[in-house]
Structure 1
Amino acid sequence: MDDYLQVNRANWNARVPIHVSSAFYDVDGFKAGRSRLREFEVEEVGEVAGRRLVHLQCHFGLDTLSWARLGAEVTGLDFSDPAVEQARKIAGECGIPARFVTADVYDAPEALGETYDIVYTGIGALVWLPDLTRWAETVAALLKPGGFLYVAEFHPFADILDSETGTTVTYDYFHRGPHIWEVPYTYTGAEPLEHRTTMEFRHGLGEIVSAVAAAGLRVEFLHEHDHTLFRRFATLVEDGGVYRSPGEAPGFPLMFSLRASADGAPPPAADPATPSPAPTE
């Protein structure tokens, strides 16, 4: 458990050159003007022009810079030095003003030294964090009064299904981890990774929402989506650039999005009359 940060950083450092050169990320397409943001994200976040936005766990910054192209004043934070170096390089080549900082997400308030109108956490980020209570408190510390958190993520329900068909429950929804994986390739293609081990943490939807609320943020919406961004299961079909269950099959949640605002009030105090949950093995 204590090694998760070092293990995962080595893995993500190894992914950077593979991802930058991959068709999946299409850096050349981004430089030509293509946005990396999903349509529902832009709609749900709303107008960002003139607002200060920080992207936590930003990788090499294409989503961050896409928000800048919409007018936001952006900062990206990631724990990988090679990723941050690439983000700065791409920003410079595109002439996009942006700030990128290397730090662990839990150290963000000290590393950044400022607050924001919007804290954005993109897809595939929460699985790398062991403590969502601490994460939500970090988010709250980064937000100005009246600002908001926006999360777009893969739905945790899909994580428990078999990887081939997505029809059989294979993993325990309530087993938080760490889950240790040895995977020779990243999701962008067949080029082998130098560092293959990851330590990941499964978080249920209730845990995510409860952590956000306990940090004093007011949940504005939680939307569940019946599509995802790649063919996660062989049974999914492409539909307008996203993937969902075929028409005759029952739908199930594949992604979710959440928005929660900072009203300037302190987090609610615990109710002393409410017993603490019993410890679990």
Structure 2
Amino acid sequence: MEEIIGRWREVNRANWDERVPIHLSGSFYDLPGFREKRDVLRDFETAEAGDVTGRSLVHLQCHFGQDTLSWAARGARVSGLDFSGPAVEAARVLAADLGIDARFVQADVYDAVEAFEGATFDIVYTGFGALLWLPDLPRWARVVADLLKPGGFLYLAEFHPFTNILDDATGGTVTHDYFDESAQIWDDPGSYADLSAETRNNVSVSWDHTLGSVVSAIAGAGLRIEFLHEHEDTLFPRYGNLQAGSNAVYRRPEGLPRIPMMYSIRAAKG
């Protein structure tokens, strides 16, 4: 176990590298649909980030760049970074096919400052399912701060850590320790995008971070929290009893108490 945790970056990269072609060809990411629409951002993200026209934006842990290129479609000058070589190559091909001027760099997120050769940006964006792959949030937040221009801001949209403590069937029973931020080792074949996909590199290492840890890391890096918003819906059927609503979101059935399932943070650099 310790040996696997010690190789977390190598293990996770192999896992993600293998899943890139699965994600490119499957219906989950709907690449043909994206080529037509060129925008997969959620309404609350674009409202909270505001007008990005002409602003430089870097997307950390960008996978193959759908969200990155969506910001470009809204007028931003975009760059993306991911540690997966196949993902970055796919992002470059997609950008070229769509005629979008975008820069994609392969590097570990902790090495982003060096990877972009000291360049700074108006906006640092990071999206859903990113932070659980990082063992050291304060270090990540310092990287974000170093990437930002004075007056720039971090915009983060993530799945709420509260959802991880509840049972998968109904989300009605506490089954996990919210404050346990230790490494977790998983051995899961397939992908969230295709559970039946045949895969070999099935081991991964992740960390569940509390909301307090995220906020404290961002504040500790010298960024000023402008808002923390919690959202009652989510992007996938996290629990077996969630119901699909409009705009491709899922909510708890009517009559059940609401819980936070996503959150968003905007934090500025002075």
Secondary structure at the aligned position of 1:77 is classed as strand
Structure 1, unaligned stretches of length 5 or more? 264-281
For 2:114 and 2:167, the matched residues in 1 are separated by: 40
Give 1:1-281 correspondences, 5 Å limit.
1-113=5-117, 114-189=119-194, 190-240=196-246, 241-263=248-270
Following superposition, the deviation at residue 164 of structure 1 comes to 1.6
Structure 2, unaligned stretches of length 5 or more? none
For 2:175 and 2:85, the matched residues in 1 are separated by: 36
Following superposition, the deviation at residue 162 of structure 1 comes to 1.2
For 1:181 and 1:62, the matched residues in 2 are separated by: 26
How big is each residue's C-alpha offset from its partner over 1:119-161, in whole Å with a ceiling of 9 and x where there is no partner? Answer: 0001000000000000000000000000000000000000111
Secondary structure at the aligned position of 2:162 is classed as helix
How big is each residue's C-alpha offset from its partner over 1:59-115, in whole Å with a ceiling of 9 and x where there is no partner? Answer: 000000000011100000000000000000000001011000000000000001200
Secondary structure at the aligned position of 1:181 is classed as strand
How big is each residue's C-alpha offset from its partner over 1:198-255, in whole Å with a ceiling of 9 and x where there is no partner? Answer: 1000100000000000100000000000000011101111111210111111010000
For 2:75 and 2:6, the matched residues in 1 are separated by: 39
For 2:78 and 2:6, the matched residues in 1 are separated by: 31
How big is each residue's C-alpha offset from its partner over 1:10-58, in whole Å with a ceiling of 9 and x where there is no partner? Answer: 0000110000011110111111124111111011000001000000000
For 2:38 and 2:73, the matched residues in 1 are separated by: 10
Q: What TM-score does the superposition give when structure 2 sets the normalisation length? A: 0.96
For 2:7 and 2:176, the matched residues in 1 are separated by: 23
State the one-letter code of the partner of 1:262. K
Comparing 163-172 and 250-259, the one that deviates more: 163-172
Count of residue pairs brought into register by the alignment? 263
Detail structure 1 runs of 4+ shifted over 4 Å in the superposition.
none
Comparing 134-143 and 240-249, the one that deviates more: 240-249
